Structure 1
Amino acid sequence: MRQNPSFAVTDMGELRRLVEENPWVTLVSATEDGLVASHYAVLLDDDRDDLTIVGHVGKPDDLIHGLGQRELLVVVQGPHGYISPGWYGDAASVPTWNFFSAHLTGVPELLTPEENLRVLDRLVARFESALPQPRQLWERPNDATFVERLEKGTVGFRLTPSRVVAKRKLSQNKDPEVVETIIAELSGDGPYAQPLLAAEMQRAADARRRA
């Protein structure tokens, strides 16, 4: 991802929020057969306060990616959406795309079966907790035999990135009035409405005003 200093994000709190709110990521590896990509949910490691993430892949994706043997690129994609030049007023302009993304790169560490079970348990709890009647991993009709067999079909990993590239392009280079117009358009009911992107832009605009 080409970096632009004015769009770069280095604040750890904001990067952790990006991962927390957007856990469905893309895993990319360079192999002898070319590039391979997979899609999985990850979590921040609750024993750390950095960008270390934990997750799992289903077998044989661990072998396909060479998990634990070579670099893994994790692409985290936050809110994004089309920005029409019509939202800029009469100024000469072209369309663009606003987004908040991060690339985390490093060699992952493989988890033990016990650690992997804990991560699987956390993943289920994370997403089930929003439901009125959550079904946790160890609850009936699941039993220990079922859960342990499930774990054996996966390989857990922990990745502490050695390189992080993060970019938040949210019309920071536009006048505040234009930013307000874009937020209003993204918050509306038009064909390119993106409420989550509008909220991200509003958050950034409020931060700039406080600075």
Structure 2
Amino acid sequence: MLEQPEFAITDTAALRALVHGHGWVTMVAAAAGEAPEVSHLPVVLDPDDPHGLTVLGHLNRADPLAQRLGDHDAVLIVQGPDGYVPATFYEAGPYTPTWDFVVAHLYGRPEILGPDDTYRLLSLTVDHFEAGRPDPWRLSSVAGYAHRLLPGVLGFRMRPSRVAGKAKLSQDKPREVVDRVVRALRTDPVHRNPALADAVRAARP
């Protein structure tokens, strides 16, 4: 990823919020001289690291990525709001269309978890994604069944050794232009994108 200081996310709280709100991530790992393996999985922030970016995640042991997990470095790609921004949204110029986005890359070597810690992370994952429901479902309601599935699950913890966060959200445009982009992202019949609109507004100069 092209790292540009003007778009960098360096605040740990902002990065934690990104992971917390966008827990479906892409993971990439590769051994030297081999093709990279890529997979997609849910992650949650590790409650034992309340101020950091340690994450917990799990894969099916049959996933090709699981075969090398823990032996090599990996990267987790956390994707926040993103979308196409037509040039006409600026109502000024000359400008060209662009793609605004929020993303973070978490680099590190995953630590494989044992059965008890894997069950705990599965329970935490369910609790996280059920949190907004009026009557949250709990993994403990099928504890016996869940424990029978554990041999097929590979849980891991990853404490990033390096983090690259980027929020490219029209910050390089004048404030009045950014305000027009926000309005258009909320109302345009084709490229309406309320989540991106909120992110652009929060980042405006």
TM-score (norm 1): 0.91
Residue-by-residue CA offset, 1:45-68 (whole Å, 9 max, x unaligned)? 111111110111111227655111
**Are 1:110 and 1:156, in contact at CA under 8 Å, matched by a contact in 2?**
yes
Q: Does the C-alpha gap of structure 1 residues 63 and 168 become closer, same or farther in structure 2, counting only changes over 3 Å?
A: closer
CA drift at 1:14: 0.4
TM-score (norm 2): 0.94
1:7 aligns with 7
- The secondary structure found in structure 2 opposite 1:86 is helix
The partner residue of 2:83 within 81, 88, 99 is 81
> Partner amino acid for 2:28?
V
**Are 1:77 and 1:101, in contact at CA under 8 Å, matched by a contact in 2?**
yes
**Are 1:36 and 1:65, in contact at CA under 8 Å, matched by a contact in 2?**
no
- The secondary structure found in structure 2 opposite 1:138 is helix
> Partner amino acid for 1:37?
V
Q: Which runs of 4+ in 1 moved over 4 A?
A: 62-65
**Are 1:29 and 1:65, in contact at CA under 8 Å, matched by a contact in 2?**
no
* RMSD (Å) for aligned C-alpha atoms: 1.5
The partner residue of 1:100 within 85, 99, 102 is 102
Count of matched residue positions in the alignment of Structure 1 and Structure 2? 203
**Are 1:26 and 1:38, in contact at CA under 8 Å, matched by a contact in 2?**
yes
Q: Does the C-alpha gap of structure 1 residues 4 and 153 become closer, same or farther in structure 2, counting only changes over 3 Å?
A: same
The within-5 A match list for 1:19-168 is 19-31=19-31, 33-48=34-49, 49-61=51-63, 64-139=66-141, 142=142, 144-168=143-167
Inter-partner Cα distance in structure 2 for 1:167 and 1:115: 32
Inter-partner Cα distance in structure 2 for 1:125 and 1:78: 21
* Structure 2 unaligned residues grouped into runs of 5+: none
Identity of aligned residues (%): 40
- The secondary structure found in structure 1 opposite 2:9 is coil
